[in-house]
């Protein structure tokens, strides 16, 4: 498993680079995803290696360990007004 973080903006990049980032689930700068390593992933990362940062993930860390689940909202749908 590897953690992929988008480090550069997709503005002004080629459509194929934007498509690769979208395939990986990356939309915003600083967003991270965890994906299983494999030849398909290596091919995608090769195309956008100048836009992303890749780091190996240990066995205890998985997709649930990546931030984003807690957005500061209560989640019950009730407003604070």
**Which domains, from first to last, does the chain contain?**
2-58 (3.30.1390.20)
Contacts 24+ apart (CB under 8 A), 68-77: 68/31
pLDDT at 28: 95
pLDDT at 58: 81
Question: Whose structure tokens read 């990546």?
Answer: 66
Inter-helix orientation angle 15-24/39-47, to 10°: 140
- Whole-model pTM: value is 0.71
Distance CA(14)–CA(22), nearest Å, equals 13
Distance CA(2)–CA(67), nearest Å, equals 15
Question: Whose structure tokens read 């503005």?
Answer: 11
Banded model confidence at residue 70, pLDDT cuts 50, 70, 90: very low
């Amino acid at each position: 498993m590897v953690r992929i973080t988008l480090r550069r903006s997709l503005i002004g990049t080629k459509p194929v680079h934007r498509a690769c980032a979208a395939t990986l689930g990356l939309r915003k700068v600083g967003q991270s995803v965890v994906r299983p390593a494999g030849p398909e992933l290596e091919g995608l990362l090769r195309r956008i290696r100048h836009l992303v940062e890749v780091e190996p993930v240990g066995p205890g860390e998985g997709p649930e360990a990546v931030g984003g689940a807690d957005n500061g909202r209560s989640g019950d749908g009730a407003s604070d007004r």
